[in-house]
Structure 1
Amino acid sequence: MTDRPIEDYAIIGDTCTTALVARDGSIDWLCWPCHDSPALFLRLLDEDKGGACEILLEGLRETRRRYRPGTTILETTFVTATGTLTLADFMPLHPLDEVPDEGPDGAPHGRIVRLATCEAGTVTGRFRVRPTFDYARDGAALEPEAGGTVLCRRLAKPEGVRVAASVPLTIAGDRVEAAFALRAGEGASLVLAHREDDDGDVGSAAASLSATQGYWEEWSGRCTYHGPHRDDVLRSALVLKLLTHAPSGGIIAAATTSLPEAVPGTRNFDYRYVWMRDASFTVTAFVNLGYVREAAEFLRFLRDADKTRGRDLKLMYGINGRVPEEEILGHLRGWRGVGPVRIGNAASGQDQYDIYGEFLVALHAFLDAVDYDPPVKVNDHLPEALGHLTDHVIRCRDEPDHGIWELRDEKRQILHTKGMLWVALDRAVQIAQEVDVASPERVEEWRRVAAEIRAEYHEKGWNAQVGAYTQAYGSDDLDAAVLRTVLFGAFDAHAPRVAATLDAVSAGLGDGDLVYRYRNDDGFDHPEATFAACAFWRVGCLALAGRTEEAEPLFARLLTRGNDLGLFAEEIDAATGEQRGNVPQGFTHMAIINHAVRLDRAARHRESRTDEPCQWAVGA
């Protein structure tokens, strides 16, 4: 049974896909060639049936790791009984001579490169590669090739992976192995190549490492945040960049599927798709750090994915098409035996009307960042898209929905949704004040309907018995998502009822520094862990209320909840501190970025000694 904690995993990638590397150097998760392609390595979800790419060392005593600063290049140092070895893992992504206006800003090579260097003494070990195609549903034929490489060919389809190494390869059953015995200063390299025309040349590995490091260092150097949490913010930005799909411009929610949110339980879902909500969050985070091009690339993705220009905006998209139907892979045991393993996502057919507010927040932030002078392909369709999106808001303002938490029971009049509908119209009005996107009569309609929606949720969302704004109209259930609406201005952070709601959420949903999304019955059999982003929302509400003396130390403590590399999954088990859910989770890393920015602006606001209220639309 797999016993590696979720926080044991690091991520590498090339803005096409990602791989997860365990603390012991085993690559236990890889979908190739795209984020949502079938997994080739999936020991993460089944120790026995799932393949991996391992490094096995004799006399191993100690392991430590880090990322090279400002990069996604993972360095793991192994101390053995006889020496020390450092392993550099990366997926090559080289700079372009000239970055185009649209499209990838780097050149991915469709490779994984592993460079092992003996730093001291002697080290003996081997690489071992065991591919398991199509989530271990298809077999592999291992074929030696001229030149010493091995082609791992999928049986059912004409595709495969080429293995090359600087030391001889051998085939042992369903595995390819590369043994090495190194002295100080010597090295061994392994290359996995996905493209058919890639011969797996290992001679270029060192040059590729240098080029990849140059790409990431240049990208990181453009981060505009220089506050006290720069290292954490930059690591989160690098995670979000890895979750992009450069060929399409899409942004996925997380790198994995089916890591459980509850142990035991059945809350296992596939997050390798482009959620409108999560991607919009990420766009806002990118804009807050000066990465405007990444925001523009997501708009390119939407332009291609939604030919209706907002008339038929979907909740989620596949990277290259529709989200597949949800399917259970019953032959896989799941992480620590906690199933089921799911691919696809049934929530793609839900009604979640808050997405209109989420997207318009991101669009407004992008337009503001480019001084309302967007690329022609955005500007030309802006009036039509705004018209369609605001039509949606007005049409669904009285409709129940499944909401941000994708509740799989009945639809409700969810307060968070209502607040985000107001946000949608508010941002549309703000955009219209800067550019000619609608007639004065239409803009006035947006203002009028926004005011009506706001008055309604202030009245119907308040529960006097509970003493808080609750999850839905007429509900007694608390919901941390209400805090998000405060962050976007749907409620006044200084209002007494908002203060009471913050206190109620902290008491009723809080567990120390951590916060549950909600505690009401949602149709699943076991309660989930705390939701990491909700704890950061509490930081934001405290900051907006002027309670920075509470917000700042809380934020600092929450950052320590990540793993040793600063990576976060979706949830945290309050009792054990272990991470839960898919990893790394864009939702959490976006919250880290936006609240670091919010606290930095709060500090500068205090230094200015102004009496003006402190309100910023920096996202959630």
Structure 2
Amino acid sequence: MPDRPIADYAVIGDTCTTALIARDGSLDWLCWPRHDSPAVFLALLDSERGGACRLVLEDLRETTRRYLPGTNILETTFVTATGRAVLTDFMPLHPLETVPEEGPDGRAQGQVMRRLACVSGRIAGHWNVSPSFDYARAATEASAESETCVRFRGGGDAIRTACTRPLTLREGIAKAEFALTAGARADLVIAHGEDGAAGEGAPDAVDASLAATRAYWQEWSGRCTYDGPYRETVLRSALTLKLLTHGPSGGIVAAATAGLPEAVPGNRNYDYRYVWMRDASFTVTAFVNLGYDREAAEFLRFLREADASRGRNLHLMYALGGEVPPEECLDHLRGWRGVTPVRIGNAAADQEQYDIYGEFLVALHGYLEAVEYDPPVKVNDHLPEALGHLTDHILRARHAPDHGLWEMRTEKRQSLHTKAMLWVGLDRAVQIARSDPKHRLADAETIARWEQAAAEIRAEYHARGWNPSRGAYTMAYGADDLDAAVLRAVLFDAFDPDDPRVAQTLERVGAELGAGDLLYRYRIDDGLVGDEATFTACAFWRVGCLALAGRSGEATALFERLLARGNDLDLFAEEIDAETGEQRGNVPQGFTHMAVINHAVRLAADESGTRTDEPDCRAEPEVVPA
């Protein structure tokens, strides 16, 4: 089958892992039991070798889809020549009777449930289930356990598939044919593990699980405190971020996928199923902005447990458990649209990027403000030690070169964004220490030392980061390259948006890195093959910079045009091809959805940019020819 556009995919999940489902109902990506586990379905990256759970309907004419309101339950409506059917896809996540102070707030069942119901006329077709274990590197063994249940094994892993229709097994593919009239259903349940409870009690079990999962998501959505003009889009981004969380550890992965290309053609294909320290600042801010203090605390719990040194040995990137695996190319996979290599693991884990200390302190400051400096004991007890270690890192790294925000695999430089984030870190450390009601985090002498160092760092990057010949602040000291990361530094107050030099820089960035409303991160030789697409989060950062500069009307108009760049479900990948408008890179991308949330909140808070009219968030599903 031809590779589907990245925008064709919707995401479901259970806060342990996620599954990607195409517009035609094909489940093409699923890693089990957690986000960074080996994939058992990966037709997303190779439709022949990868394996999928496909729905095939006879004479399909139209498709529409939506999420059930306030949930991550996907509902796809199919119109055929003879009837109409609704497919409901979800991963069961049941509410807990009592939510603990820390840890998962729901009970994941380790299942995917797929309900196809005929609502009018007659529909016919079949389910096809063909997993491929360990990224299609392990042989698959299939065996029928009953007329309606098949077990698949491979690579030390297993799944069970059960259906309310008979399953036949041929050449490793389980097939269930159906011919449904109005009111009839064909339920399919896939469960992970040797003991996966697939199909037991179906369809009643599906009814009960659907009701419980819907209750979980609607209760969670009901706690969102944002009530501005972009509520539906903001809530969808929040629900997407929640899907990218890992309940057992508290971590949040950067994206659900690996290997989707940022350039076509090119070799910019990376694995984003890990936890980036850099995402901490925007992740915590996004959740706090919406009233989800517990999610912010859970992310900080992950960092606390992943780094037992209390900030002494902070890493750029973490796996959800154990070490980030070495980068590896899956040369047997064809790649999306033939773009290779498909990479798993991530070599950037070994890079030196000193902005992460500022990122952590921004996250910590935002969380402490949200809980009015009364955090749980486990956070509170280690605050003095963590604050001391993080600020010590900044003071040691202030003159050192690093690899910078964009993780380019080139030599280290004196990165402007890094220097700005070091100032941000010290600034937030001072704010934390001065706001501490018990005055135990730092003494007056220490705070004064941080303030002095912060002033020196800020003066340095303002002086050495400015390039008179370019008329702009550039990517690194002495460099001529422009860098969209300067917008991010403005958002963190590292630059004054009213400064004429900053305004001139933003104009230069827009002129040289812009592609209409979109922005490239940079336009230099980074040693990789192919021209990458525009970086979607950068375009949203420009919204924030316009708002800060008092240009609220322009900011709001740009924000709404950017929202229209999402797919029909308001989901965003990492990048957008400026020529075609197609999504590029891993999906859904947390960094982009954080930007959607934070800038919707920013616009709502800006009195001159307040709007009362509702933007077009595409609440109605898009009709697409089959």
Bin of the TM-score, shorter chain as denominator length: over 0.9
Distance apart, 1:153 and its partner CA: 1.3
Structure 2 residue corresponding to 1:526, chosen from 521, 530, 546: 530
Matches within 5 A, 1:466-477: 466-477=470-481
Cα deviation per residue 1:255-314 (whole Å; 9 max; x = unaligned)?
Answer: 000100000000000000011112432121101111000011111111211110100000
Partner residue, 2:429: 428
Separation (CA, whole Å) in 2 of partners of 1:468 and 1:321? 42
Partner residue, 1:578: 582
Separation (CA, whole Å) in 1 of partners of 2:2 and 2:604? 41
Partner residue, 1:557: 561
- SS at 1:542's partner residue? helix
Cα deviation per residue 1:385-411 (whole Å; 9 max; x = unaligned)?
Answer: 000000000000000000110010000
Q: Does 1:29 align with 2:33?
A: no
Q: Does 1:589 align with 2:589?
A: no
Cα deviation per residue 1:62-98 (whole Å; 9 max; x = unaligned)?
Answer: 1111111110000111111110010000000011101
Unpaired runs of at least 5, structure 2: 612-626
Distance apart, 1:33 and its partner CA: 0.4
Q: Does 1:542 align with 2:543?
A: no
Matches within 5 A, 1:333-352: 333-352=334-353
Q: Does 1:61 align with 2:65?
A: no
Partner residue, 1:239: 240
Distance apart, 1:146 and its partner CA: 4.2
Cα deviation per residue 1:145-184 (whole Å; 9 max; x = unaligned)?
Answer: 1473111111x42x30000111111102110111111110
Separation (CA, whole Å) in 2 of partners of 1:3 and 1:309? 45
Partner residue, 1:172: 170
Residue identity over aligned pairs, in percent, reads: 68
Distance apart, 1:199 and its partner CA: 2.9
Q: Does 1:254 align with 2:255?
A: yes
- SS at 2:236's partner residue? helix
Q: Does 1:278 align with 2:282?
A: no
CA contact (8 A) 1:542 1:550 kept: yes
- SS at 1:378's partner residue? helix
Instruction: Look up the equivalent residue of 2:51 and give its one-letter code.
Output: G
Instruction: Look up the equivalent residue of 1:37 and give its one-letter code.
Output: S
Distance apart, 1:3 and its partner CA: 2.5
CA contact (8 A) 2:556 2:609 kept: no
Partner residue, 1:98: 98
Cα deviation per residue 1:4-53 (whole Å; 9 max; x = unaligned)?
Answer: 10000000000000000001000000000000000000000011110000
Cα deviation per residue 1:416-448 (whole Å; 9 max; x = unaligned)?
Answer: 000000000000000001112012111111100
Separation (CA, whole Å) in 1 of partners of 2:392 and 2:28? 46
Separation (CA, whole Å) in 1 of partners of 2:281 and 2:2? 34
Pairwise CA RMSD of aligned residues?
Answer: 1.1
Cα deviation per residue 1:497-518 (whole Å; 9 max; x = unaligned)?
Answer: 1110111111010010000000
Unpaired runs of at least 5, structure 1: 608-620
- SS at 1:385's partner residue? helix
Q: Does 1:381 align with 2:382?
A: yes
Structure 2 residue corresponding to 1:505, chosen from 501, 504, 509: 509
CA contact (8 A) 1:2 1:335 kept: no
Instruction: Look up the equivalent residue of 2:18 and give its one-letter code.
Output: T
Matches within 5 A, 1:165-314: 165-200=163-198, 201=200, 202=202, 203-314=204-315
Separation (CA, whole Å) in 1 of partners of 2:2 and 2:405? 32
Separation (CA, whole Å) in 2 of partners of 1:562 and 1:516? 17
CA contact (8 A) 2:12 2:91 kept: yes
Matches within 5 A, 1:66-85: 66-85=66-85
Instruction: Look up the equivalent residue of 2:108 and give its one-letter code.
Output: P
Number of equivalenced pairs: 605
Separation (CA, whole Å) in 2 of partners of 1:487 and 1:590? 13
Distance apart, 1:197 and its partner CA: 2.9
CA contact (8 A) 1:253 1:279 kept: no
CA contact (8 A) 2:416 2:476 kept: yes
CA contact (8 A) 1:114 1:189 kept: yes
Separation (CA, whole Å) in 1 of partners of 2:487 and 2:65? 36
Separation (CA, whole Å) in 2 of partners of 1:507 and 1:297? 40
CA contact (8 A) 1:252 1:274 kept: yes
Separation (CA, whole Å) in 2 of partners of 1:606 and 1:96? 38
Instruction: Look up the equivalent residue of 1:292 and give its one-letter code.
Output: D
Separation (CA, whole Å) in 2 of partners of 1:410 and 1:195? 45
